[in-house]
Structure 1
Amino acid sequence: MSNTAKRMDWINLLNKERVRKSTSKSFKHRNEFDKDYDRIIYSSSLRRLQDKAQVFPLQENDFTRTRLTHSMEVASLGRSIAWNIGTWLEENGELRDFWEVKELASLVEVSCLVHDLGNPPFGHYGEDIIRDWFKKWFGSKCFTKLQETYSERGLGELTPQQKNDFLYFEGNAQAIRILSKLQFLNDQYGANFTYGTLATLMKYPWSSADKKTIEKKKFGYFYSEEDLFTELHRKVGIGDRRHPATYILEAADDIAYLTADIEDGVKKGVVNWQSAFEGISDYLKENYKKTYDTLINYRDQAELNGVPDKDLVAIQNFKVSIQGIMIDSVITAFKFNYEDIMNGNFKGSLLEASKAKDLEEKLKNISREYCYNNTEVLTLELVGDRVLTELLDLFVNAVVKIEKEPKTKSREGKIFHLISQNFKHIQSLDSEGKPNLKFEKLPLYNRLLLVTDFISGMTDSYAVNLHQKLIGVKMP
């Protein structure tokens, strides 16, 4: 996108259209982005996040955050930041009235709620496992022979972009896929979200074939959703630029996890809070003296009052205070960089561009030292590695070998029939949304999507349990 590209405008950015026109009545107090929220809050896709890891996988306690509780916290933070920025935009004539301010807040809130919807089991490490599996598989003799077979059958070979969809498998792109196709209701449009919400959710608005994918190891949509992106480009006017609200979503996500991961670590006993706080206290005293004094006062009061579990109380007070600093910082950064954001020239994140940049890095260092390198986390990630790798072995190698939709007599047929009927139904839909596509005519790309849709949609526990059953460790 050229630096001379047209400046984005909020009339298009707050686009309320959907691929399938909505028939429900609109009210000022319940805008189209509120409807997006209502469409997803009752969905199975969102509920599955309650059993997907934030940092600590497969937890049996009811305190440690999951992807669902994390997403709820991000939505709350994002909404608050958006209200502040939206009010400022109205004062400066960028938004027309209070109701557009509310639309921005609603847009950010729902985008934050669903931002992790496409994460596979075991979080971001799960993405790495899927990528590594396909890298090895695409380099195998088995795949080379398979390509030839599919070509001979008139089903074509994988294009470079289609291969990249799996080599750089991205949870953000999978979330777009879930909302536009896989969260099946009555037709081929999935949850049928507004263009504005889908554009905000697309953190990396380019395809896996774009050179930026090689550089950043991130992309925004699969080849299967390319037509949808073309519509977003036209309707919302983003091109390969981020939607301005995406920066608010990203900031809310960063603010939430930077403090919450440490809080979870303190609760689990893997973070020595006294030591961790001592490591950051000089920085706080020098740069945020009022906050430092408040935290010391809270600590002294807790000791005086004999408060039980003082470390947990201390980290919770720390979390609230530090989040306040970062919220103010990103709001200021958004306003200061507003024109660059609207022109698509802003680089990096709001936190990186704010006065809280050093604070962000210090919080990351605490989590790296205590949480991300914790023995339990590493061990369970290695469990996830084996689980996802062996599930991919089983399901990909079964699905690609089947010439006709199988009965359950063959091994491949048994494995195929374990895949959710919903995902198989999606792959049977033609351009009119009718289930007319026969499995034997399904290209290799679509078959691989069928498997990654199924496996990435699993919860951590479901993936472990299914794996144990398939290798004979647990009886069905």
Structure 2
Amino acid sequence: MLNWENLLLGERQRKSESKNLPHRNEFDKDYERIIYSSSLRRLQDKAQVFPLQNNDFTRTRLTHSLEVASLGRSLAWNIGEWLIQKEVFKDFAKAKELASLVEVSCLVHDLGNPPFGHYGEDIIRTWFESWFNSEIYKSASEKFGELTEQQKYDFLYFEGNAQAIRILSKLQFLNDEYGANFTLASLGTLMKYPWASNDEKNKSRKKKKFGYFYSEQELFEEIKNKIGIDGCRHPATYILEAADDIAYLTADIEDAVKKKVINWDKVYKEIKYEFEEMYPNEFIKLEELRKKALLNEVPNRDLINVQNFKVYIQGILIFAVVNSFKDNYDSIMEGTFEGDLISNSTARTISEKLENVAFEYVFSDKEVLTLELVGDRVISDLLDLFINAVINVDGITKTKTKHEKLVHLISENFRHIQRVSKKGEPTVEFKDLTLYNRLQLVTDFISGMTDGYAVNLHQELLGVKLP
């Protein structure tokens, strides 16, 4: 049985030196640690659905993450108040801890996504699948030693969620090897799939998902033992996931209407026909607002109408998710709950309808498909260049050869992190890096790129454009 005292543990790998104040819990500190970070700022140029946009309306990963954080906080407050009523939480402070924990976890949930959205993950996986069957890999294995199954699967099933854990615990470098030094509870909540890449839970899934890389194995053991998520999710993870689902189910459609990818009147009438009887009050109000927009000759009526639709549908989804958490509370705390909160709620059918709309109109849009193909070429070419470089360079004191020059283009921050020994000292020489460390140096670098930076670097390295 999961225990809230452990689940809300504010402990960190390195003890925090910041002051404890009555209004500021450990998860508030996590929020303050990451809000000023370069890792979070990079999300402003990473695609949510439509990559490489020149307008200021279409959502990026950053605006999406802010919306998810807002929704997650609201859901958590609702659930926290209920837990106070049930006398699970003894006071308001515990409910605030839950709300703060969910909010910061939502804010950073996409931190590890590579350029070009989730398709970027697929590109990296496909590239390594081919590379592991190549003579180049065979030669590199003979030189540096074979990868273990887990190490190999880390790349074959590359996962942005695991990369986010790595960023927060190592790559967002401040003073030492602990990165942003987040609380174990925040890291545990962010770990949506608390198992390794070679775990049977991952192998048996049609869509491969895992929570941490081999390089963060020791950190996971600490989280598992102290938080208690041994093969099961943190309860707050379900709230995070629901907030993410609520955000994108409506926002992706809104962005598509703005870009005139969707004929909103047609789609709205389809949804109204299917769900008016289930949600009569919401659709009565929506009809009133549509008539008002027409009467007032509101410009961009489709956009106004879809934004009103988003507000009311999010209300339906929030209500359903909170009730789903309450109804399934016992199995969530026992670690036996399966699926997610929305699919186990009264809003399952309408959420499925919204997913189908996005699949039919948004993800098959010509612009999205074209730019994803651009991303495929960009990421694949960069992996070709930088992987070949790191396996053909023994030291980084010279910049004479092409491979040496490429290695020097990799962020000095990432190269420094690979130099840090288990004692926390920068004593590891480049020539002593394992094959796993060399490959991870490249995936750290490329997955951290924004869409625009990746495209620009690709053009510069291919000679299409001067630096």
In which range does the TM-score fall when normalised by the shorter chain? over 0.9
Question: What is the SS of the residue equivalent to 2:204?
Answer: helix
Partner of 1:58: 52
Contact 1:284 1:291 in 2 (8 A): no
Contact 1:204 1:242 in 2 (8 A): yes
Question: What is the SS of the residue equivalent to 1:417?
Answer: helix
Partner of 1:171: 160
> How far apart, in 2, do the equivalents of 1:203 and 1:94 lie?
24
TM, length-normalised to structure 2: 0.99
1:44-443 equivalences in 2 (<5 Å): 44-150=38-144, 156-216=145-205, 217-443=208-434
Partner of 1:4: none
TM, length-normalised to structure 1: 0.97
> How far apart, in 2, do the equivalents of 1:50 and 1:13 lie?
31
Compute the displacement of 1:60 (Å).
Answer: 0.2
> How far apart, in 1, do the equivalents of 2:275 and 2:54 lie?
35
> How far apart, in 2, do the equivalents of 1:230 and 1:368 lie?
38
Deviations 1:264-302 (A, max 9, x none): 000111111011111111122121011111111100011
Amino acid at match of 1:185: L
Amino acid at match of 2:48: Q
Question: Which residue of 18, 24, 31 corresponds with 1:30?
Answer: 24
Deviations 1:277-335 (A, max 9, x none): 11111122121011111111100011011111110000000000000000000000000
> How far apart, in 2, do the equivalents of 1:256 and 1:333 lie?
17
Question: What is the SS of the residue equivalent to 2:340?
Answer: coil
> How far apart, in 2, do the equivalents of 1:27 and 1:46 lie?
25
Unaligned runs of 5+ in 1: 1-6, 151-155
Compute the displacement of 1:405 (Å).
Answer: 2.5
Matched residue count: 465
1:433-472 equivalences in 2 (<5 Å): 433-472=424-463
RMSD (Å) for aligned C-alpha atoms: 0.7
> How far apart, in 2, do the equivalents of 1:244 and 1:210 lie?
21
Compute the displacement of 1:215 (Å).
Answer: 2.5
Contact 2:396 2:408 in 1 (8 A): no
Question: What is the SS of the residue equivalent to 1:287?
Answer: coil
Question: What is the SS of the residue equivalent to 1:38?
Answer: helix
> How far apart, in 2, do the equivalents of 1:55 and 1:404 lie?
40
Question: What is the SS of the residue equivalent to 1:37?
Answer: helix
Deviations 1:392-430 (A, max 9, x none): 000001101112235111010010000000000000001
> How far apart, in 2, do the equivalents of 1:406 and 1:295 lie?
66
Compute the displacement of 1:127 (Å).
Answer: 0.0
Contact 1:36 1:193 in 2 (8 A): yes
Amino acid at match of 1:20: R
Question: What is the SS of the residue equivalent to 1:25?
Answer: coil
Question: What is the SS of the residue equivalent to 2:383?
Answer: helix
> How far apart, in 1, do the equivalents of 2:224 and 2:297 lie?
59
Amino acid at match of 1:303: L
Deviations 1:171-223 (A, max 9, x none): 00000000000000000000000001000000000000101212330000000
Unaligned runs of 5+ in 2: none
Is the aligned partner of 1:42 residue 2:36? yes
